Structure 1
């Protein structure tokens, strides 16, 4: 079963699904859904639409130059079926899937770290600037009253001793 890639959004198109558009110069365009087909006909640039793979790669959200992606390339030469080769291929596919998931997770964590640090610093600055909002005046009065009561108790204990 050959899985195609959508020309517009790069998602997988399974056999019997999607739309195929053939231009006059006999170039074949496969689309996964009508949304991609319509946007292609409107001459929209996939790099400018945030949900497409091209846009995600452009903004650094997807893996671009990775050795794992080289294994997914399309091969036009069919290989002769051998049970051992088939088993090995399936095991390698599972391993590459795991490696790809780990690398993608690492990419996400490394791209999120700087943003988290800046937001944390910004929040601390705001908390320092607006510290008067963190405690109300009534809470301050209660604290002062509690301190006075403790001081009076301390003085009473001193007098008893």
Structure 2
């Protein structure tokens, strides 16, 4: 049983499924579904549609050069039936699929490595550039400052300016992602910065199953 690939999107086109289009020059095109057939008739370029294999390969989102991909090539060489050869071929196909899946996971992790750090860096840069749009003080801090000013008999605006002056002197950017920094007014009138950590946030939740990955996997074929 031969499983053809869709001419437009690259997905497998199973026997008795999909659409086959024969052109006047005798060339046939196999499509896995009517969506691919309609896009082909509209003369759209598969490299410009994000849901096709051609786009993903062109954008570097999938493996292109790998030894396991060579086994998927068509071979129109007739071979005499041999039961032992068929059994070894089936076992080799299972082994090749396993190796390809493991290499695809490693390729995916390498491609997305450092994405979390880049997102945090861009978020901090955005906040640093637009810090004037953020509220000056939290509502709870304003209430504490008002209570403290009432106890000490000091003007509320003056105490707020003193608090903000302490923040500007520290020159520390607010953190995002795994921690939160907030200001706390002490009973003696001083200001301290408190950092709270969130549990379960970080980049250490990757699978550990691929640590023993060996790129030199041996494969025997006939």
Q: Which residue of 1 aligns with 2:35?
A: 35
Q: Which residue of 1 aligns with 2:185?
A: 144
Q: Which residue of 1 aligns with 2:8?
A: 8
The 5-angstrom pairing of residues 104-115 of structure 1 reads 104-115=104-115
Greater share of residues in strand: 2
The 5-angstrom pairing of residues 6-155 of structure 1 reads 6-126=6-126, 130=131, 136-139=138-141, 141=144, 143-144=184-185, 147-148=187-188
Q: What secondary structure sits across from 1:40 in the alignment?
A: helix
Say if 1:119 and 1:26 are closer, same or farther in 2 by CA, change over 3 A.
Answer: same
Q: Deviations over 1:25-71 (max 9, x none)?
A: 11111111111111111110011111000011011111111111101
Q: What secondary structure sits across from 1:71 in the alignment?
A: helix
Q: Which consecutive residues of structure 2, in runs of 5 or more, have no partner in the other structure?
A: 146-183, 189-222
Q: Which consecutive residues of structure 1, in runs of 5 or more, have no partner in the other structure?
A: 149-161
The alignment's TM-score, normalised by the length of structure 2, stands at 0.59
Shift of 1:128: 6.0
Greater share of residues in helix: 1
Q: Which residue of 2 aligns with 1:158?
A: none
The alignment's TM-score, normalised by the length of structure 1, stands at 0.79
Say if 1:66 and 1:135 are closer, same or farther in 2 by CA, change over 3 A.
Answer: farther
Shift of 1:84: 2.2
Shift of 1:12: 0.8
